[in-house]
Amino acid sequence: MPKAQAHELRCAGRVVARYVWDPRLPATVSPRPYLHPVTTLGGTTVTGFMPDDHVHHLGASIALPIVNDVNFWGGSTYVSGHGSIRLDNHGRQDHHRWLHRDDDRAEHELHWTGRDGVTLAHERRVLTVRQLTHDAWMLRVTFTLTSADGTALEIDSPAARGREGAGYGGFFWRAPAGLDRVHAYGRDTNGDVHGSRDPWVVLSGHHRGGTPWTLIFLADEKDPWFVRSADYAGVCSAIAWKRLTVAPGGTLTRGLSVVIADGPPSSAITGTAMAAIREEPA
């Protein structure tokens, strides 16, 4: 079996994220690279890894429910008319090579492989970090997916198959379990951001006796947001809200920035996040 690969991303002199590809993960979680732990500059962990309620939630990771009938999300597969079923159809994202690695940037090439060992897609992924303030930093994730053999990629989700609101798929961030307070919103702090196309989503949480934290998500594309803040806390800019086809020879590219801050949400940190994303190259 190939060896695990890991890279530490640093900001303001400390490790703020560990990016890991571990081939030893069970097949049923659809093994893929993940970011965990991700921390604030103050040291608070803001990702959850393989929680009891959803063991296939791997920190922050790029995952798609179905690509050409292969499950790259983990867990059950939603089948129209039958609901969520455990199927032996899990794929994996395999490490191919590193293109670049240093403290604030990693470029990674991956192969998306089906259970039968056939590679369906190639991916190029870039992760960067930079400090924004004394208590906030920004993670930038971009990825480009292309067919391995030039045929179309059919990307599907439970929502596309009839399960209302379950349009997850893309860069998904699972927050820690066991929070005693969590709040998610977009432009309207009292609105329901799930399914909206707001320019940003704020997810804030608080561990009992711990420091509050804030995450601000800003997506390049206006895909709907998949947001959970009741049964668990998680956010995804959902590229698979509806069925999506990547044409033969085409590419799928997405980018997302996440501002990770100590403390509760404030207009100051939101303004800093908006200014930071405007400074990012297209």
Proportion of the chain above pLDDT 90, given as a percent: 78
For 139-184, the pLDDT digits (tens) are 999 999 999 999 999 999 998 898 888 899 999 999 998 898 899 9
Q: Which pLDDT belongs to residue 268?
A: 86
Predicted confidence at residue 281, as pLDDT, reads 59
Domain limits for position 41: 5-279
Predicted confidence at residue 208, as pLDDT, reads: 80
Q: What is the 3-state secondary structure (H, E, C) of the chain?
A: CCCCEEEEEEECCEEEEEEEECCCCCHHHCCCCEEEEEECCCCCECCCECCCCCCCCECEEEEEEEECCEEECCCCEEECCCEEECCCCECEEEEEEEEEEECCEEEEEEEEECCCCCEEEEEEEEEEEEEEECCEEEEEEEEEEEECCCCCEEEECCCCCCCCCCCCCEEEEECCCCCCEEEEECCCCCCCCCCCCCCEEEEEEECCCCCCEEEEEEECCCCCEEEECCCCCEEEECCCCCCEEECCCCEEEEEEEEEEEECCCCHHHHHHHHHHHHHCCC
Q: Tens digits of per-residue pLDDT, 237-278?
A: 999 999 999 999 999 999 999 999 999 998 888 888 888 777
What pLDDT shows up at residue 190? Answer: 85
Number of domains in the chain: 1
pLDDT value for 191: 85
Whether residue 17 has pLDDT greater than 70: yes
Mean pLDDT of the chain: 93
Where on the phi/psi map is residue 16: left (φ > 0), alpha (ψ -120 to 50), or beta? Answer: alpha
Q: What is the pLDDT of residue 174?
A: 98
pLDDT of residue 269: 85
